[in-house]
Structure 1
């Protein structure tokens, strides 16, 4: 009997090592660590939207004054093989109602574009509706979540892509932003 006693501690140690190895194996799953994310950029000339009524540029002609304030985002592997990364993001903006605005509702257009090496791969336009309650002339809005899927490989991570966010501006609104900078 004394010959079998040393085997019991060995078996317990071996069982604990196998259990620990099995637990660590879970850490090597493709989604165990957050994957690289695409670079997220606000277009500097498109982060503000100042809309006037008519040709006037006085404060009394101001319809809306909006600013992109944040684009919270996160990434995770979208498949078990690790060949796709999903980026989920929202667009946050501050919208102010100007004296020339008719009514209490306004639709603010913006877009999200994806590029790789300076080439546009996809571009989608969205619209945020702001409904100003009585006695409120400024409000913060957050868009519904947008999901973007990026193909990845061992040679190319999601960091090879860029996500651009901007208001959808008219040529006049873009020129105003350029002059105002």
Structure 2
């Protein structure tokens, strides 16, 4: 069960992330066209618990846990192509679990623009390696390489019409586990 303080901190973090890229440059065009799109982190994919394959979901079966801590970036408006170019880096916190063999691992996360689903351009899945450099270290922060997205607006759209989502790429069991925790 989460403490009230923990929920408050998580809620504030998600709220601040939602407006994190809202300060793009505006050079003579309508502000709503050129503003950075809203970046959203769905609470069901904001965390990852990786269990040992074939094991249960007991605390002793946890290889590692992860959460999205923050992201930073910016965007630019190209009036000739009517596109918004978004650049961002995502920061993750990974906590070692008792079932992790060795000092390293890997996870995946996604950057998605639901408007373009089911086109492959609508979602990028990225792999991120991590390593605990010391056997006694239980938590590491990992920042991924810069992700770039080009969002075409056409003539009838504003950037606010096209939110971008980031989250951990979860399998069905992991997603259900998170949903149970979030109830």
- Bin the TM-score by the shorter chain: 0.7 to 0.9
Number of matched pairs: 153
Would you say the 8 A contact 2:46–2:67 is kept in 1?
yes
Q: What are structure 1's unaligned runs of at least 5 residues? A: 1-26
Query: 2: CA distance between counterparts of 1:119 and 1:170?
Result: 19
CA distance in 2, matches of 1:55, 1:165: 28
**Residue in structure 2 matched with residue 157 of structure 1 by the alignment:** 158
**1:59 CA drift (Å):** 2.1
**Residue of structure 2 equivalent to 1:97:** 96
TM-score by length of 1: 0.75
RMSD: 2.6
1:39 to partner: Cα distance? 1.5
**Counterparts of residues 1-181 of structure 1 (less than 5 Å):** 35-53=34-52, 54-77=54-77, 79=78, 81=80, 83-116=82-115, 119=117, 122-134=122-134, 135-153=136-154, 155-181=156-182
User: Deviation above 6 Å: which 4+ runs of structure 1?
Assistant: none
Gaps of at least 5 residues in structure 2 are: 1-25
SS of aligned partner of 1:44: coil
Aligned to 2:15: none
Q: When the two structures are superposed, what TM-score results if normalisation uses the length of structure 2?
A: 0.74
